[in-house]
Amino acid sequence: MFDHLDQSHLYFMAPSSVFVSDDIVKESHVFLRIDRVRKSLEPLYAVPYKVLSRSAKVFTVEIDGKPTTVSIDSLKAAHLFTDEVASRISPPISTYEAHKSEVVTRYGRRSRTVAHFQT
């Protein structure tokens, strides 16, 4: 009864290649991918970490003051500004100053206290 059926062919998945930027071998800092279930609006990569040493597939980065070995597959090059460029950027100048009786909410609205609630 089952003699006329062919055997199914086995398919082997080849390991997928991971794209690695050429810039990662030149940069002094790298981003580390967060490999866990993230909360909503949580970034895919963590803050930039300083690279201590690098090899073909493994980087040693400084995380919390300790050297940690990380695979190159979970890293992304961090293009940071130099000190010269960062020093030219000035902080924004505030054109609005709130009165002492006013409170500015986190949405930027001015909230005044009602007179009969003031003590």
Residue 35 within a domain: yes
Residue 99 lies in a domain: no
Question: Residues near 52 by Cβ (< 8 Å), separated by ≥ 6?
Answer: 60, 61, 62, 67
Domain range for 44 is 22-89
pLDDT in tens, 17-40: 667 778 888 888 999 998 888 888
Question: Is residue 15 one of the residues assigned to a domain?
Answer: no
What's the pLDDT at 108? 83
Q: Is residue 74 part of a domain?
A: yes
Mean predicted confidence (pLDDT) in 67-92: 72
Whether 77 is covered by a domain: the verdict is yes
Question: In this structure, is residue 5 part of a structural domain?
Answer: no
Name the amino acid, one letter, at 24: I
Question: What is the rounded average pLDDT for all residues in the chain?
Answer: 76
Averaged over 77-83, what is the pLDDT? 76
Distances from the Cα of 57 to the Cαs of 19, 71, 75, in angstroms? Answer: 12, 6, 11
CATH assignment of the domain containing 46: 2.30.30.140
Domain presence at residue 40: yes
Q: How far is the C-alpha of 49 from the C-alpha of 14, rounded, in Å? A: 32
Number of domains the chain is built from? 1
Domain annotation covers residue 78: yes
pTM of the model: 0.53
